[in-house]
Copies of this chain bind each other. A is one copy, B any other.
Amino acid sequence: MSKYIKPSSKKAGLAPGSYVFIGDQKVEDIRISITDYDEQNHKFISVKDLEEIFPFRDRPTISWINIYGLHETSILERIGNHFKIHPLVLEDIVNTDSRPKLEVNNNYVFIVLKMIYFDEEKSDLMIEQFSLIIGRNLVICFQERESNIFQSIRDRIQDSQSRLRKHSADYLAYILIDVIVDHYFVVLEKLGDNLELLEEEVLDTPGKDTLRKINHFKRNLILLRKHIWPLREVLGGLARGEIEHFEKTTLPYIRDCYDHIIRVIETIESYREMATGVLEIYLTNASNRLNEVMKVLTIIATIFIPLTFLTGLYGMNFEFMPELKWRSAYPVLLLIMILITAGMVVFFRKKDWL
């Protein structure tokens, strides 16, 4: 399978709405947990039997259902049936190569976005899909595997004074998106460090590997942009305030999140331009080094080739070469050679090569 994209080629020829899990399976079993709260109470439930989650569909409290693992499509289908999720939406949830998007329905709002981590060892981006169904008093999250990125949210839910407890499900959804978007800045910061290291390497110790690293860095930016760019539209769509499930009081928060996405995108673009600059320095340094190498060669050759010619001249075996008999011929020739060398040095200095 191609390294860069996970084309849905597996699916070519299947009926639409066929739930084929696309991607690498990251957990053994699907695991489900529920966080249920209102202003007065809150509880955390680790679900053992799938049917435990069904009653949470219609409860007046806010239910946040987390589903980890997307490979058992039969379980997801049962969830989909109970919560009346459209087959195409389920297909998008299961296909981990979906594009970030927003779909609004009578019953729910469906959002796909990407959780992005930076694997510092491999200098690689790790991208996981995060799908969100936002209904009345209900938020269902689909993730590829369990992560502790949302622990801080659970902590806040435990605090009965927190703003979260007083708002409805759309605010919870906002918080989830916000946490993910805030994490993009962590990735950006690491990429920024990377860029700085690359710059230093290019200026101080450029090697064979440097080019590969610059290219890898640029590729990471291409991937990052590809996965974050569509989010702009998603959040823009939410911020416009035409979606019934989202209350007026949540909109300023969404708009704030939208601003963050714009800043992320702008920073990616700046990084791209800077990476191009780093590449330019690398290339110019290479050509400068060639210049330097050639100068050394030229200086050496230009000084010694004429001298060697002179030694050759007096190394000839002609019987009649009057100079060979002269007493002072050798010291005079040495002097001439010194003068030639000095002349060359002056010439190279004038040319600024020495």
- The answer to whether A4 and B192 touch (CB under 8 A), given A308-B312, A316-B317, is yes
Q: What are 30 residue pairs bridging A and B, where the CB atoms are less than 8 Å apart in the complex?
A: A2-B188, A2-B189, A2-B192, A2-B195, A3-B196, A4-B271, A5-B267, A15-B175, A16-B253, A17-B163, A86-B252, A218-B273, A218-B277, A226-B266, A226-B270, A279-B280, A283-B284, A289-B291, A300-B302, A300-B305, A301-B305, A304-B308, A309-B311, A311-B312, A311-B313, A311-B315, A311-B316, A312-B315, A315-B316, A320-B326
Give every chain B residue within 8 A of A208 (Cβ-Cβ).
288
Which residues 274-310 in A have Cβ within 8 Å of B in the complex? Answer: 274, 277, 279-298, 300-302, 304-309
Bound CA–CA A292/B208 (angstroms): 11
Please report the C-alpha to C-alpha distance between residue A256 and residue B288 in the assembled complex, in whole angstroms: 48
Looking at chain A's contact residues, the main secondary structure is helix
Q: Which residues of B contact A222 (CB under 8 A)?
A: 270, 273-274
Contact in complex: A280, B215 (CB < 8 Å): yes
A101 at the interface (CB under 8 A from B): yes
Q: Which residues of B contact A326 (CB under 8 A)?
A: 318, 320
Which chain A residues have a beta carbon within 8 Å of chain B's beta carbons? Answer: 1-5, 7-9, 11-17, 86, 88, 91-92, 97-99, 101, 103, 149, 152, 156, 162-164, 174-175, 178-179, 182-183, 185-186, 188-189, 192-193, 195-196, 203, 208, 211-212, 215, 218-219, 222-223, 226, 252-253, 255-256, 259-260, 262-263, 266-267, 270-271, 273-274, 277, 279-298, 300-302, 304-309, 311-321, 323-330, 333, 351, 353
Q: Nearest Cβ distance between residue A187 and chain B, in whole angstroms?
A: 9
A99: which of B156, B266, B315 is its contact (CB, 8 Å)? B266
Task: Say yes or no: A309 contacts B302, CB within 8 Å.
Answer: no
Given A185-B8, A195-B4, A312-B312, A219 contacting B300 (CB threshold 8 A):
no
Q: In the complex, which residues of chain B have a beta carbon less than 8 angstroms from the beta carbon of A8?
A: 182, 185, 260
Residue of B with least CB distance to A8 = B185
Per assembly, the copies of the chain total: 5
Q: Which residues of B contact A211 (CB under 8 A)?
A: 280-281, 284-285, 288
**Set of chain B residues within 8 Å of A316, measured between Cβ atoms:** 311, 314-315, 317, 330, 333
Give A308 to B298 CA distance when docked, in angstroms.
16
Cβ-defined contact, B88 with A253, below 8 A: yes
Q: Of A15, A260, A274, A317, which is in contact with the most chain B CB atoms at under 10 Å from its CB?
A: A15
The residue on B at minimum CB distance from A105 is: B252
CB distance from A329 to the nearest CB of B (A): 5
Chain B residues closer than 8 Å to A219, beta-carbon distance = 274, 277
Give CA–CA (A294, B299) in the complex, Å.
Answer: 11
> Are B14 and A152 touching (Cβ within 8 A)?
yes
CB distance from A241 to the nearest CB of B (A): 14
